[in-house]
């Protein structure tokens, strides 16, 4: 039989098509068989674990049918870590008692051995809530992922190092050789815990080299007043090596590298530190309400991303800080965490240098030479008043001159009656003739404002005052109580009465009354009653403040009263002042530019008033 050329070519092509079809069909069948075998192997492993758990009675049958199977499926190649029971391991140093959990291989709770909670009288505990977790997701198989916080790590290996530090290592391994280890290093006398996440097979465990880290944390009350501690709580962080914080806002997004994030209470903080920095992320923070009866202060949710170099293995260095807001301890970490302590922020940032280089060193010096912190505050107050004495003397001298001019000012008031512009012009002329600066008493007071704000920040954040008793105060870091009220007074007063607040208000009121005798009579009702209004306002503002601050204010006011009395009556010679003012009046006067402008304004105002039609 003869076949033409076209027929031969057609038969060859048809043969090739059949060969290709059977080849690819065979490949698909082999792939399906392999996947089926993988599923059967996974199912067999799941069944084996289920049977083992049933035999040992660790979980109930209905639990296995619902939650456990889902966890086993999500665990993929990490099925041996999918189910288990949570167990705890405790490791201590001189200042910390750290409780670890095998579930997630994380720090569960930390006790601060040197500090006592005012809530229950036990050691201060940070963490331990069901809400708290450190977590990141890993790939556990094809199109499969699991949260590390859902995996049960093997029993930890604890090792004591040559420097007396202790290393606690949790590890889990997959069926195909990948592994995860959490290494924690606890150093002697340190509140910082080094944490290394070691990923073997990081290129498969992570997608595109991204580790998506979640940190959820809840802070709980440790001080006497939950309301005040809640107000003092905030979130601090370092973004692009610049310190910042959140106090009133509830959310923050990060576009620049983040070095650390800290959940801050009044005297303690818990901080997550990434030594290589998180590339970006966000956080949500929420203060609890006053109606919260669980002693919760605030909650924080963070979502932070860490870029991991694509490699088969990677070591990710972190650090966890659980400890006091103590300046020298935080400053030693050398990462800007010392700014967590509020020694002056935002509009009050100008007082931070005053606290750091003057108030803090002087107070610490006095605290070393005298055991009682109340007397140390008294010595600090004396130092401050001695430092500001030249300013105060100028203020008192100005007050003495004003007192000497008071009879003449009263005569001018009677002369001009309701003609305020005329009186103001003559008053300015009288001050100029006598060489008196009417602002002489105000300038020293204004210069002392930074000192007050510096001390307000210092006493509110100084943990060394915590638990220190003095006179009737049991804790200088909080308000003292001499009486509890059966109700709460609004506007910040509260449900108690603070004796140090009363002494601060009374001494402030005494200063106001004393100064009224050295100033011209005020016809303005607002100015006339200001000496009574300001102390009354202080009563509401000061009643919740630390007794260290109200004790300082009491001492400072008492010293002011004493100095005013002594200087006015025994140091300043009023006859000499009168002689000098008479001599100043006899000299030719040259108006300053300010006085000239002020006189022109007053004369213009007087002319305008004279031009107005009189009824």
| Residue 465 near residue 459 (C-beta atoms within 8 A) | yes
Q: 455 pLDDT exceeds 80?
A: yes
Q: Which pLDDT value is given to residue 385?
A: 85
More confident residue, 238 or 529: 238
Average pLDDT over residues 72-87: 80
**Domain 86-341 grouped into CATH 3.30.70.890:** no
CA neighbours closer than 13 Å in the CB half-sphere of residue 419:
17
Q: 285 pLDDT exceeds 80?
A: yes
Where residue 33 falls (left for φ over 0; alpha for ψ -120 to 50; beta otherwise) is alpha
> Would you kindly state where each structural domain of the chain is located, as residue ranges?
38-83, 86-341
Measure the CA dihedral 413/417/419/425, to 10°. Answer: -20
Tell me the C-alpha distance between 49 and 51, whole Å: 5
Q: Binning pLDDT at 50, 70 and 90, where does residue 434 land? A: low
Q: Binning pLDDT at 50, 70 and 90, where does residue 414 land? A: confident
* Tokens encoding 349: 């940032």
Q: 1 pLDDT exceeds 50?
A: no
DSSP string, 68-128: IHHHHHHHGGGGGGTS----EEEEE-SSEEEEEETBTTEEEEEEEEEEE-TTTSSEEEEE-
Instruction: Give 47-62 pLDDT, tens digit per residue.
Output: 655 555 555 454 444 4
Tell me the C-alpha distance between 185 and 165, whole Å: 7
Q: Binning pLDDT at 50, 70 and 90, where does residue 596 land? A: low
φ/ψ of 297, rounded to 5, equals -95, -50
Q: 380 pLDDT exceeds 90?
A: yes
Tell me the C-alpha distance between 612 and 72, whole Å: 93
333: nearest Cα among 279, 271, 264, 278: 271
Q: 562 pLDDT exceeds 50?
A: yes
Return the minimum-mean-pLDDT range out of 87-96, 297-306, 461-470, 602-611. 602-611
Strands 133-141 and 313-324: unpaired
Average pLDDT over residues 259-263: 96
Average pLDDT over residues 244-255: 89
| Residue 404 near residue 577 (C-beta atoms within 8 A) | yes
* Tokens encoding 114: 């040197």
Q: Which pLDDT value is given to residue 524?
A: 55
Residues 430, 435, 438: CA angle, nearest 5 degrees:
70
Average pLDDT over residues 40-50: 58
Q: 405 pLDDT exceeds 60?
A: yes
Instruction: Quickly tell me which residue has 């109700």 as its tokens.
Output: 487
Instruction: Give 117-139 pLDDT, tens digit per residue.
Output: 998 899 999 998 888 989 999 98
CB contact burial 28-61 (16+ within 10 A = b; e otherwise): eeeeeeeeeeeeeebeebbeebbeebeeeeebee
Q: Binning pLDDT at 50, 70 and 90, where does residue 312 land? A: confident
* Strand runs labelled E in 225-354: 234-239, 242-246, 251-254, 258-264, 268-278, 280-287, 296-307, 313-324
Instruction: Give 148-168 pLDDT, tens digit per residue.
Output: 999 999 999 999 999 999 999
Which residues, 6+ apart, have CB-to-CB distance to 288 below 8 Å?
Answer: 230, 294, 296, 297, 298, 299
Which residues, 6+ apart, have CB-to-CB distance to 225 below 8 Å?
Answer: 478, 479, 544
Q: Which pLDDT value is given to residue 320?
A: 97
Tell me the C-alpha distance between 219 and 300, whole Å: 9
Q: Which pLDDT value is given to residue 153?
A: 94
Tell me the C-alpha distance between 432 and 426, whole Å: 10
Instruction: Quickly tell me which residue has 């060859």 as its tokens.
Output: 12
- What is the chain's Cα-based Rg? 37
Average pLDDT over residues 335-364: 91
Q: Which pLDDT value is given to residue 56?
A: 47
Q: Which pLDDT value is given to residue 257?
A: 94
Measured N-to-C along each axis, helices 389-416 and 574-586 cross at an angle, to the nearest 10 degrees, of 60
| Residue 308 near residue 358 (C-beta atoms within 8 A) | no
Return the minimum-mean-pLDDT range out of 106-110, 227-231, 389-393, 573-577. 573-577
Instruction: Quickly tell me which residue has 């220190």 as its tokens.
Output: 468
Which residues, 6+ apart, have CB-to-CB distance to 435 below 8 Å?
Answer: 580, 581, 584
Q: 181 pLDDT exceeds 60?
A: yes
Strands 313-324 and 192-200: antiparallel
Average pLDDT over residues 410-418: 74
Share of the chain above pLDDT 90, in %: 40
Average pLDDT over residues 37-48: 58
Tell me the C-alpha distance between 115 and 97, whole Å: 12
């Amino acid at each position: 039989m003869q076949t033409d050329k076209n027929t031969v070519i057609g038969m060859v092509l048809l043969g090739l098509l059949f060969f290709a079809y059977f080849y690819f069909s065979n490949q698909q069948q082999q792939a399906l068989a392999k996947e089926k075998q993988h599923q059967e192997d996974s199912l067999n492993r799941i069944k084996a674990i289920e049977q083992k758990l049933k035999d040992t009675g660790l979980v109930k049958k209905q639990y296995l049918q619902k939650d456990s199977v889902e966890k086993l499926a999500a665990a993929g190649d990490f099925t041996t870590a999918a189910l288990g029971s949570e167990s705890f391991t405790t490791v201590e140093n001189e200042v910390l008692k750290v409780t670890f959990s095998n579930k997630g291989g994380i720090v569960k709770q930390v006790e601060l051995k040197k500090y006592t909670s005012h809530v229950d009288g036990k050691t201060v505990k940070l963490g331990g809530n069901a809400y708290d977790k450190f977590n990141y997701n890993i790939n556990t198989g094809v199109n499969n992922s699991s949260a590390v916080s859902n995996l049960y790590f093997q029993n930890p290996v604890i090792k004591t190092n040559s420097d007396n530090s202790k290393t606690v290592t949790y590890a889990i391994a997959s069926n195909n050789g990948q592994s995860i280890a959490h290494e924690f290093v606890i150093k002697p006398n340190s509140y910082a815990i080094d944490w290394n996440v070691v990923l073997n097979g990081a290129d498969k465990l992570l997608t595109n080299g991204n580790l998506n880290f979640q940190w959820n944390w809840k802070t709980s009350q440790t001080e006497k007043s939950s309301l005040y501690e809640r107000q003092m709580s905030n979130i601090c962080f370092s973004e692009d090596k610049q310190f910042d914080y959140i106090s009133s806002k509830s959310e923050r997004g990060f576009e620049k590298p983040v070095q650390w994030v800290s959940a801050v209470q009044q005297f303690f903080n818990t901080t997550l530190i990434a030594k290589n920095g998180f590339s970006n992320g966000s956080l949500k923070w929420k203060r609890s309400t006053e109606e919260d009866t669980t002693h919760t202060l605030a909650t924080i949710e963070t979502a932070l991303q860490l870029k991991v170099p694509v490699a088969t293995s990677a070591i990710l260095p972190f650090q966890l800080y659980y400890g006091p807001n103590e300046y020298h301890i935080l400053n030693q970490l050398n990462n800007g965490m010392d700014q967590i302590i509020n020694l002056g922020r935002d509009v009050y940032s100008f007082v931070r240098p005053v606290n750091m280089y003057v108030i803090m060193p002087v107070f610490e010096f006095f605290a070393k030479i005298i055991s009682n912190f109340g007397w140390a505050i008294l010595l600090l107050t004396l130092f401050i008043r001695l430092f500001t004495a030249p300013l105060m003397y100028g203020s008192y001298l100005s007050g003495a001159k004003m007192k000497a001019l008071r009879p003449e000012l009263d005569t001018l008031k009677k002369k001009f009656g309701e003609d305020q512009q005329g009186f103001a012009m003559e008053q300015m002329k009288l001050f100029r003739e006598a060489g008196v600066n009417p602002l002489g008493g105000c300038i020293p007071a204004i210069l002392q404002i930074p000192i007050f704000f510096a001390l307000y920040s210092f006493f509110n954040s100084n943990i060394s005052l915590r638990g220190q008793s003095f006179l009737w105060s049991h804790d200088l870091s909080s308000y003292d109580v001499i009486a509890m009220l059966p109700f709460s007074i609004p506007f910040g007063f509260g449900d108690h009465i603070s004796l140090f607040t009363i002494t601060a208000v009374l001494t402030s009121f005494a200063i106001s009354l004393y100064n009224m005798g050295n100033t011209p009579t005020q016809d303005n009702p607002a100015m006339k009653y200001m000496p009574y209004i300001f102390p009354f306002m202080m009563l509401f503002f000061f009643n919740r403040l630390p007794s260290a601050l109200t004790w300082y204010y009491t001492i400072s006011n008492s010293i002011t009263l004493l100095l005013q009395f002594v200087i006015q009556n025994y140091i300043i010679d009023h006859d000499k002042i009168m002689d000098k003012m008479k001599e100043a009046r006899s000299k030719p006067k040259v108006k300053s530019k300010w006085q000239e402008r002020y006189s022109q304004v007053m004369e213009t105002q007087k002319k305008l008033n004279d031009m107005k039609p009189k009824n």
